[in-house]
């Protein structure tokens, strides 16, 4: 199914429901997930309220951090030798969006999800009080994600902001959360790996909980790496049990084409903790924000196809997806491809490509080479089209699964500006 190019005027006149449903429909058909299409569309319509009724317009009503285009929706496709899975990420927003109201709306949506899909809440309940204070800070409080595979029930996950109580509280909050979840020693081993570069250059950005049952349910912790080299990322990810020597060199050699240091948008890794991972994380995900290091989406597409071929994956599977959802020619802009990730599943490589829907244009942005905690908060700003003159963009902040663009939102009390925030999120 080929993509239908759309003018900005056409997109701006649509609602998020019609626009998002069309993107999802095209994804399902390109991935040959015909049986899953009705349930995915129903899930999107039911759990993206109230913002799914909003007209897209020329600029976001409330710039979301879940995607690079600041829309409250991001899509991805994950490819392994055996299957293709589709993923939907969204930010719950209130009718009158703000940090506190979005938190309330998110909790309501989460309760609906739990009831509708009979999701487990034990882990979530163990740490809920840490991540939902009365006066939240930062750039978001909750993001949600769902994964759909052919012939499988959907899987859900929740993303939380470790800076929701402010930067100074983050280390203790993370220590307490990981202890409650049963990963105190494994978290200590992860932190030790970052001792030499320092927490400022390898900053925690996001926490993710699988809302699934069984020993495979994951807790994921994301870090953003400033000025990192591939050699450093190889060493940092090597703490994971399933990491194989050379994984970082191979992945970044194919998708980045250089060894670093990477001085534009920082790269992200995430480490996964499962039942039984008492002493160290079980697995690692490597991420590359490809759109920040190429001229246009055609260049991104070429690198992705090269990686698919090298990993023994059929590039036509990816081409069907991108051809179905793009709204313009790939050589006439940059930003549909937000980032690409690599992780191992049962020892085999899995590549995931994250897409901005381009509900809004993805504008080029300059990223600082240092985290916000060691530079002026105003040194990097969000695109003028989606910010007020006074708003400060926080590239150090906790990102959504894909974007990490970090538009700072004000709360009743001015938020901390040190690293208040993957993304993305990265990796399914």
Question: pLDDT tens across 199-219, in order?
Answer: 789 999 999 999 999 999 999
3 state DSSP class of 132: coil
Q: Where are the alpha helices (DSSP H) in 290-420?
A: 297-310, 315-325
Query: Which spans in 48-131 are helix H?
Result: 99-117, 122-131
SS3 269: strand
Pick from 422, 398, 391, 404: nearest CA to 131: 398
Helix, strand or coil for residue 172? helix
E-assigned strand segments in 346-392: 348-356
Q: Sort residue 217 into left (φ over 0), alpha (ψ -120 to 50) or beta.
A: beta
Measured over the CA atoms of residue 144, residue 223, residue 356 and residue 217, the dihedral's sign is negative
Reference 20, options 67, 65, 83, 63; nearest CA is 67
Q: How confident is the model at residue 369 (pLDDT cuts 50, 70, 90)?
A: low
**DSSP symbol at 368:** P
The pLDDT-based confidence of 378 (bands split at 50, 70, 90) is very low
User: What does the pLDDT read at residue 193?
Assistant: 80
User: 372 falls in which pLDDT band (50, 70, 90)?
Assistant: low
Instruction: pLDDT band for 191, please (50, 70, 90 cuts).
Output: confident
Closest CA to 47 of 73, 12, 86, 78: 73
Helices (H) then strands (E): counts for the chain: 11, 10
- For residue 248, which phi and psi values (nearest 5 degrees)? -70, -45
CA distance 428 to 236: 19
Q: How confident is the model at residue 366 (pLDDT cuts 50, 70, 90)?
A: low
- CA 109 – CA 379 distance, rounded (Å): 36
Output the pTM of the full model: 0.88
Average pLDDT, integer, range 255-281: 95
Encode pLDDT of 103-151 as tens digits.
999 999 999 999 999 999 999 999 999 999 999 999 999 999 999 999 9
Q: Which two tokens stand for residue 68?
A: 């690079």
What integer pLDDT is reported at residue 394 of this predicted model? 35
CA–CA dist 301, 294 (Å, integer): 10
pLDDT in tens, 26-42: 999 999 999 999 999 99
Q: Are 144 and 47 in contact (CB under 8 A)?
A: yes
């Amino acid at each position: 199914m080929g993509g239908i190019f759309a003018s900005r005027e056409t997109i701006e006149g649509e609602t998020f429901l019609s626009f998002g449903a069309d993107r999802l429909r095209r994804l399902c058909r390109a991935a040959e997930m015909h049986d899953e299409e009705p349930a995915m569309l129903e899930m999107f319509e039911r759990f993206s309220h109230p913002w799914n009724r909003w007209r897209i317009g020329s600029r976001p009503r409330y710039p979301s951090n879940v995607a690079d285009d600041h829309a409250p929706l991001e899509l991805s496709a994950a490819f392994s030798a055996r299957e293709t899975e589709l993923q939907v990420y969204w930010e719950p927003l209130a009718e009158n969006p703000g940090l506190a109201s979005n938190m309330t709306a998110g909790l309501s949506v989460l309760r609906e999800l739990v009831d509708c899909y009979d999701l487990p809440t034990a882990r979530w309940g163990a740490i809920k009080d840490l991540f939902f204070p009365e006066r939240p800070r930062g750039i978001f409080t909750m993001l949600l994600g769902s994964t759909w595979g052919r012939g499988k029930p959907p899987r859900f996950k929740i993303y939380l902001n470790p800076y929701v109580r402010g930067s100074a509280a983050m280390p203790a909050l993370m220590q307490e959360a990981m202890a409650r979840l049963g990963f105190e020693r494994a978290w200590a081993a992860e932190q030790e790996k970052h001792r030499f570069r320092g927490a400022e250059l390898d900053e925690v950005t996001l926490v993710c909980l699988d809302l699934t049952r069984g020993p495979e349910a994951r807790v994921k912790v994301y870090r953003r790496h400033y000025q990192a080299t591939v050699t450093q990322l190889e060493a940092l990810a090597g703490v994971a049990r399933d990491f194989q020597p050379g994984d970082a060199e191979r992945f970044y050699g194919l998708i980045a084409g250089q060894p670093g240091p990477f001085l534009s948008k920082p790269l992200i890794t995430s480490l996964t903790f499962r039942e039984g991972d008492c002493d160290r994380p079980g697995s690692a995900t490597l991420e590359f924000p490809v759109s920040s290091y190429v001229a246009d989406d055609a260049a991104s597409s070429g690198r992705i196809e090269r990686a698919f071929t090298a990993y023994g994956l059929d590039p036509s599977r990816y081409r069907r997806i991108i051809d179905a959802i793009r709204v313009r020619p790939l050589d006439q802009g940059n930003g549909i491809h937000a980032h690409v990730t690599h992780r191992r599943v049962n020892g085999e490589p899995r590549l995931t490509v994250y897409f901005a829907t381009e509900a809004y244009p993805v504008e080029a942005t300059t990223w600082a080479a240092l985290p916000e905690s060691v530079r002026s908060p105003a040194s990097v700003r969000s695109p003028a089209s989606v910010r007020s003159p006074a708003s400060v963009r926080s590239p150090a902040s906790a990102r959504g699964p894909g974007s990490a663009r970090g538009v700072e939102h004000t709360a009743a009390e001015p938020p901390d500006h040190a690293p208040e925030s993957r993304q993305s999120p990265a990796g399914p």
